[in-house]
Amino acid sequence: MSQFAINLIFVGASFALYIGIAIWARAGSTRDFYVAGGGVHPVMNGMATAADWMSAASFISMAGLIAAGGYANSTFLMGWTGGYVLLAMLLAPYLRKFGKFTVPDFIGDRFYSSGARLVAVACLIIASVTYVIGQMTGAGVAFSRFLEVDSNTGLMIAAVVVFLYAVMGGMKGITYTQVAQYVVLIIAYTIPAVFISLQLTGNPIPGLGLFSEHTESGMPLLAKLDQVVNELGFRDYTADVPNKLNMVLFTLSLMIGTAGLPHVIIRFFTVPKVADARWSAGWALVFIALLYLTAPAVASMARLNLLTTIYPDGPTADAIKYEERPDWIQTWEQTGLIQFEDKNNDGRIQLYNDSPEFAETATQRGWNGNELNVNNDILVLANPEIANLPAWVVGLIAAGGLAAALSTAAGLLLAISSAISHDLIKGSINPKISERGELRAARISMAVAIVVATYLGMNPPGFAAQVVALAFGIAGASIFPVLMMGIFSTRVNNKGAIAGMLAGLLSTVIYIFVYLGWLFIPGTNNLANTPDNWLMGISPLSFGAVGAVINFAVAFAVSAMTEKPPQEIQELVESVRYPRGAGIATGH
């Protein structure tokens, strides 16, 4: 059977499973649609949160970026897990006690202002749409590979599938399908990693294999990798980074973004009790960690395997001939995500770092520039093929990548659609809208969000994980601070919250657009996105943490200059601090 047929079987079977569950659990009322009836067990909720959370960015893109950047990109690992600590301690239990459907509900009530609610809706939509762009990028890569089409066609197919899928279920469908998706994606991620770890180190646990001995050379795996990349002019894989400020801010942006992203917070409204919200965050992180402890191993092993494939006799000997390249390079060339150009016309594939420092060595070896461009987003999907694993493993990873992209895209679309239909239309424009009308508005807004994200996904402002990181920066700068102030301060008032959110959102979005293009439209950026141009070396990906500080400062300053919140609001704040008396989440 061909690889193509095997991919189809794996992807088809996993889809049939999700759609089956979605139909079985089809949402009836609006309560079901948004919070799954309020009765989901913490472990199940943790698993669904993990699937919702781990998107194309985690599954498809992250290990590729770590492989390319080494230690410097550990920021993704720490940032996307550390936010759960903030969520469990600073937000989830209190928002659960508050007991409303959505994040703008909380902000609107706590800051007794429909203006604050509207600003929150705007922040939420901007962050979520940016996030969906990242998902579409990743899903497009996965579809283009397994259907063997070019990446834009893959993206279109992804858009149609995501739409059908998200519109059908609502939250209830999504909670149970996401449990299934978690199982598919974790198996798909782990099995190839176990095989590869066994091949390279003899250790069946990839997370431990990372720090074990490389069987072939007898050196520690990471020392071997450092040596190989070094001989090709790259920085050491484990090398420390000079710009620690940027690394700290980037990690912090991802963490507060995790705690500020509405599609994750909304998960904690679905557990029965306040205590369960705390446990749920812990369980979610356990299930996430199963992938995140494996990811750094996948990254380093894939990098080593890739370089060994190109230089079978070691990096100081000749590279392989283009004519003799393995099949996986040929299939990925069809998608346009691997490109080869024989710059020195020797018929061999030279892959190395084209830096001024290495230029002399390269010239001595008769090299005329790096000849192979490998898109970082393909590394995880190509990993089993690079390691010569059996065809079914390749099919499995295609199914897993799609599960990751679809589950998150669906969760985000739900957050966007509920922000529009519930918070914007029902909350402000037309409070008397019928349940049917509300559901219809939710579905229309999903469709619009997908179209926008697909269009921008054709020329994404970065690799999937980087686009997603931008969304985190935006959420972290705008939503996280007001949620925190809403719970931990009785003094911050409506004017402070609105000014804070606007200041955080605008400073971050403008900083991003200046370097990456206005509304992410390519070519409209004012400055080239290079470290020399960044303010104090802070990359657009890291600016969310700065935006959050601005948000806090502005909110406190404005509140201090204006009146105290009314007595009943101060009492409301006090009441969310104590678990007793939490009912199930409601809409009113």
Partner 1 sequence: MADDKSIAQAYWKANLRLIAGCLVVWALSSYGFGILLRPWLSGIQVGGADLGFWFAQQGSILTFIALIFFYAWKMNQLDKRFGVNEE
Interface residue list for partner 1 (CB under 8 A): 71, 74, 77-78, 81-82, 84-85, 88-90, 93, 207, 210-213, 219-224, 226, 238, 240, 244, 247-248, 251-252, 273-275, 278-279, 281-282, 285-286, 289, 292-293, 296, 574-575, 577-582
CB of 580 to partner 1, least distance (A): 5
Helices 151-201 and 114-146 pack at an angle, to 10 degrees, of 70
Give the burial class of 66: count Cβ atoms within 10 A of its Cβ; 0-12 exposed, 13-18 middle, 19 or more buried: buried
Q: Which residue has the tokens 């993990």?
A: 50
Residue number, 414 or 485, with CB nearest to partner 1 = 485
The single-letter DSSP state of residue 429 is I
Nearest to 222 by CA among 278, 150, 280, 303: 303
Residue number, 8 or 205, with CB nearest to partner 1 = 205
Residue number, 328 or 543, with CB nearest to partner 1 = 543
Residue number, 157 or 572, with CB nearest to partner 1 = 572
- Which three-class secondary structure state does DSSP give residue 489? coil
Q: Cα dihedral angle (252, 254, 255, 257), rounded to 10 degrees?
A: 120
Nearest to 196 by CA among 64, 65, 71, 303: 303
If you compute the radius of gyration of the chain from its CA atoms, what whole number of angstroms results? 24
CB 427 within 8 A of CB 117: yes
Which amino acid, 588? H
CB of 207 to partner 1, least distance (A): 6
Residue number, 124 or 222, with CB nearest to partner 1 = 222
CB of 412 to partner 1, least distance (A): 23
CB 132 within 8 A of CB 448: no
CB 123 within 8 A of CB 472: no
Residue number, 172 or 278, with CB nearest to partner 1 = 278
CB of 300 to partner 1, least distance (A): 9
CB 133 within 8 A of CB 464: no
Residue number, 240 or 318, with CB nearest to partner 1 = 240
CB 96 within 8 A of CB 445: no
Cα distances from 492 to residues 187, 295, 449, 487, 564, in angstroms, run 46, 41, 33, 10, 7
Nearest to 469 by CA among 291, 251, 186, 142: 251
Handedness of CA 574, 578, 582, 587 (dihedral sign): positive
CB of 237 to partner 1, least distance (A): 9
CB of 315 to partner 1, least distance (A): 18
Nearest to 214 by CA among 223, 196, 201, 204: 201
Residue number, 19 or 241, with CB nearest to partner 1 = 241
CB of 216 to partner 1, least distance (A): 14
Residue number, 223 or 391, with CB nearest to partner 1 = 223
Helices 391-418 and 42-53 pack at an angle, to 10 degrees, of 100
Residue number, 87 or 159, with CB nearest to partner 1 = 87
CB of 581 to partner 1, least distance (A): 6
CB of 217 to partner 1, least distance (A): 11
Geometric angle at alpha carbon 285, from 463 and 265, rounded to 5° = 80
CB of 575 to partner 1, least distance (A): 5
Residue number, 74 or 388, with CB nearest to partner 1 = 74
Residues paired with 213 in a beta bridge: 220
CB of 252 to partner 1, least distance (A): 8
